[in-house]
Amino acid sequence: MVQDALGLFLITHECCLNDIVSDLIEEFAAIAFSAKVTLTSAIRVEQPLNIVGDSEQLYRLVSNLIINAIQYTPQFGKVTVVLARSENYAVI
């Protein structure tokens, strides 16, 4: 367990960003469909991208980004969630 700058305790462990992105794309597909927005993902890593972090907070963070993207994309627009690696960094 790690304490963040606000004094909250984060439970850190290895988590797979591929799984988080895939799960959220599936979870928000119906919302995107009803908003008439195309929701896709582009996983640009050859192997699963595992990081050490708080999976619940990462899930919430990426979820908020996707929800905002759907809400602010005009009808018949497209939202693509990209997962990539840049040297030692994960890029979403």
Q: For the domain that residue 72 is a member of, what is the CATH number? A: 3.30.565.10
Angle at 41 between CA 36 and CA 21, to 5 degrees: 110
- In the chain, the percentage of residues whose pLDDT exceeds 90 is 82
Q: Could you report the per-residue pLDDT of 18-64, keeping only the tens digit for each?
A: 999 999 999 999 999 999 999 999 999 999 999 999 999 999 999 99
SS (H, E, C) the chain: CEECCCCCEECCEEEEHHHHHHHHHHHHHHHHHHCCCEEEEEECCCCCCEEEECHHHHHHHHHHHHHHHHHCCCCCCEEEEEEEEECCEEEC
Is 54 in contact with 16 (CB distance < 8 Å)?
no
pLDDT number for residue 5: 65
Q: Could you report the per-residue pLDDT of 56-78, keeping only the tens digit for each?
A: 999 999 999 999 999 999 999 99
Tell me, rounded to whole angstroms, the distance of Cα 13 from its chain centroid: 17
pLDDT number for residue 12: 83
Could you list the residue range(s) of the whole structural domain that residue 8 is in? 2-91
pTM for the whole thing?
A: 0.85
Length of the chain, in residues: 92
Split into its structural domains, the chain has a count of 1
Q: Is the pLDDT of residue 8 over 70?
A: no
